[in-house]
Amino acid sequence: MFRTVPTVALALLSAASTVLAADAPQCSLTQKCPEETPCCSQYGQCGVGAYCLGGCDPRMSFSLDACVPAPVCESRDLKMDSTDGIVDVGKYLGDPSTANWVAQGTPLSYQSNVLLTMPKNTAGTVLASTVYMWYGNIKAKIKTSQGAGVVTAFILLSDVKDEIDFEWVGTELDVAQTNYYFQGIPDYTHSANITGVSNTNDDFHTYEIQWTPDQIQWIVDGVVGRTQKKSDTWNETSNQWDYPQTPARVQLSIWPGGASTNAPGTVAWAGGPIDWDAAGKYYYATVGEVTMDCFQTNSPPGTNSGKSYTYTNAMGTNDTVDDGDSNTVLKSLLGTGLDMDKDYPSSASASQSNMEVIPGLSGGGVGTNGQAANQANGGGEASGSNGGSTGTGTGSSSSACTSGGFSQDCGSSSSNKNQGVRQERVLGASAFAALVAVAGMVWL
């Protein structure tokens, strides 16, 4: 049956796109970014800084080397018992030793787990791993969210948009949907369901993706639920293997598939329109421990002996990935792969302050002190610029509030401003209590 469901990557794009800056150039395979804002973000807009880090698509950027080299895989036990390993996208410059995850939205720590939250009228929360996996095993303990229109996702997504998914629709708590995409090409024949999972909202289950050059396995609680062999993915039209094969970030997310801004097919797939007003309920998914085991090999594809991955050709296939020693860290969010050491001038010029530095934001200009503007000016009063700044959203950014963008708590009172990553570090364990107080009922 034909489904009009986009890839998770595309769906997140549609959720984010309504808050993207109107004048930031769009990018696609046929329209690359201009030289002054050379990096094409995961969400299809051009900018510098965070646009050039994780998710930067080399095929759509000004040049292959506009994107900052991607940190190679490191086997890690990604304890999720606090938000210590999580850094705000507006503060991350590309050094994976400083954090496990880069966040957009509002992750919170609660009872030794991390909650991915979706306050009213927001686009939810996305955590993306700071290191990339080029094959390997990734395992996560998750309790999904629930409710019509609420989607929880655990995916691998490469910069050229190879994608391997686990997705849960909030009305189908006994089903884990699986899918994969090659270079983001929408092909709706690749999905399959793992059924008979006991209540995915009440119970922790361990979901695992085992990805090798030859096959992908989706595993639930140690039982293989689906196997996809590379040998079954030959595409005779394009003469390629339609098989995920490039270094990918792990992404954990909750997003409003049932938001009214989404296509009708997406809303239907997500279980129907999301009810933001249901007794002030507050949507969230719970993440326990996450374990990343890199693929072991001495020859490509799939090595991780260098420091970073770069692409040598816009084909974006496995044989165009180089595992080398290039630097992955920008000096400031004004940098790009073409000028990694670019730093903030002592006073920002007009053109620089208009420059996009954080994808998914609505016009976050640069500050003058080496930080994004919303930090430089003390927390995001400015012009809705904090729409995606992971938790500094205030009621003032009204355009983001109506559109399902990465802004927080748009529908409720001003007392809940500044819930988010930065605030969470201050509030610690009480952050969740504060949110409960603000948001009213929570499903527990």
Ligand X SMILES: *[C@@H]1O[C@H](CO)[C@@H](O)[C@H](O)[C@H]1NC(C)=O
Binding ligand X (rule: CB under 6 A), the pick from 95, 188, 213, 370 is 213
CB of 174 to ligand X, least distance (A): 9
Of residues 379-438, those binding ligand X (CB under 6 A):
none
263 binds ligand X (CB under 6 A): no
Q: Which residues make beta-bridge pairs with 217?
A: 210, 227
CB of 319 to ligand X, least distance (A): 4
> In this complex, which beta carbon is closest to ligand X, that of residue 272 or of residue 280?
272
> In this complex, which beta carbon is closest to ligand X, that of residue 245 or of residue 403?
245
Binding ligand X (rule: CB under 6 A), the pick from 193, 326, 396, 402 is 193
CB of 208 to ligand X, least distance (A): 19
Binding piece for ligand X, criterion CB under 6 A, among 114-122, 187-195, 259-267, 431-439:
187-195
> In this complex, which beta carbon is closest to ligand X, that of residue 194 or of residue 348?
194
Of residues 223-252, those binding ligand X (CB under 6 A):
235, 237-238, 240-243, 245
Amino acid identity at 39? C
301 binds ligand X (CB under 6 A): yes
> In this complex, which beta carbon is closest to ligand X, that of residue 82 or of residue 193?
193
CB of 258 to ligand X, least distance (A): 13
137 binds ligand X (CB under 6 A): no
CB of 242 to ligand X, least distance (A): 5
268 binds ligand X (CB under 6 A): no
Q: How far is it, in rounded angstroms, from Cα 307 to Cα 314? A: 21
> In this complex, which beta carbon is closest to ligand X, that of residue 59 or of residue 417?
59
Q: Can you give the chain as a three-state secondary structure string?
A: CCCCCCCHHHHHHHHHHCCCCCCCCECCCCCCCCCCCCEECCCCEEECHHHHCCCCCCCCCCCHHHCCCEECCCCEEECCCCCCCEEECCCCCCCCCCCCEEEECEEEEECCEEEEEECCCCCCEEEEECCCECCEEEEEEEECCCCCCCEEEEEEEECCCCEEEEEEECCCCCEEEEEEECCCCCCCCCCEEEECCCCCCCCCEEEEEEECCCEEEEEECCEEEEEEEHHHCEECCCCEECCCCCCEEEEEEEECCCCCCCCHHHHHHCCCCCCCCHHHCEEEEEEEEEEEEECCCCCCCCCCCCCEEEECCCCCCHHHEEEECCCCCCCCCCCECCECCCCCCCCCCHHHHCCCCCCCCCCCCECCCCCEHHHHCCCCCHHHCCCCCCCCCCCCCHHHHCCCCCCCCCCCCHHHCCCCHHHHHHHCCHHHHHHHHHHCCECC
317 binds ligand X (CB under 6 A): yes
CB of 228 to ligand X, least distance (A): 13
What's the distance, CA 368 to chain centroid?
27
319 binds ligand X (CB under 6 A): yes
> In this complex, which beta carbon is closest to ligand X, that of residue 92 or of residue 295?
295
CB of 177 to ligand X, least distance (A): 5
Q: How far is it, in rounded angstroms, from Cα 177 to Cα 277? A: 27
188 binds ligand X (CB under 6 A): no
Of residues 91-130, those binding ligand X (CB under 6 A):
none
Q: How far is it, in rounded angstroms, from Cα 5 to Cα 187? A: 10
Q: How far is it, in rounded angstroms, from Cα 9 to Cα 158? A: 10
> In this complex, which beta carbon is closest to ligand X, that of residue 1 or of residue 279?
1
Of residues 154-173, those binding ligand X (CB under 6 A):
169, 172
Q: Which residues make beta-bridge pairs with 109?
A: 114
Binding ligand X (rule: CB under 6 A), the pick from 14, 83, 117, 318 is 318
CB of 132 to ligand X, least distance (A): 16
Binding piece for ligand X, criterion CB under 6 A, among 184-192, 354-362, 370-378, 382-390:
184-192
191 binds ligand X (CB under 6 A): yes
For ligand X (CB under 6 A), the number of binding residues is 22
Q: Catalytic residues, which ones?
A: 163, 167
Residue ranges binding ligand X (CB under 6 A): 169, 172, 175, 177, 185, 187, 191-193, 213, 235, 237-238, 240-243, 245, 301, 317-319
